[in-house]
Chains A and B, each alone.
Chain A
Amino acid sequence: QKEVEQNSGPLSVPEGAIASLNCTYSDRGSQSFFWYRQYSGKSPELIMFIYSNGDKEDGRFTAQLNKASQYVSLLIRDSQPSDSATYLCAVRNTGGFKTIFGAGTRLFVKA
Chain B
Amino acid sequence: GAGVSQSPSNKVTEKGKDVELRCDPISGHTALYWYRQSLGQGLEFLIYFQGNSAPDKSGLPSDRFSAERTGGSVSTLTIQRTQQEDSAVYLCASSSPGLERNYRYNEQFFGPGTRLTVL
State the main secondary structure of chain A at its contact with B.
strand
The interface stretch among A14-22, A72-80, A92-100 is: A92-100
A36 to nearest B CB, angstroms? Answer: 8
- Kindly identify which residue among B44, B48, B110 contacts A44, using a CB–CB cutoff of 8 Å: B110
A-B contact count (CB 8 A): 56
Task: Count contacts on A: residues with CB < 8 A to the other chain.
Answer: 22
| Interface 0/1 of A46-66, CB less than 8 Å to B | 100101000000000000000
Q: CB distance B104 to A97 under 8 Å?
A: no
Q: CB distance A49 to B56 under 8 Å?
A: no
Q: CB distance B43 to A88 under 8 Å?
A: yes
Q: CB distance A88 to B42 under 8 Å?
A: yes
Q: CB distance B104 to A32 under 8 Å?
A: yes
New A-B pairs, 6, CB < 8 Å, besides A51-B102, A88-B42, A97-B50: A92-B106, A97-B95, A99-B33, A100-B45, A101-B44, A104-B41
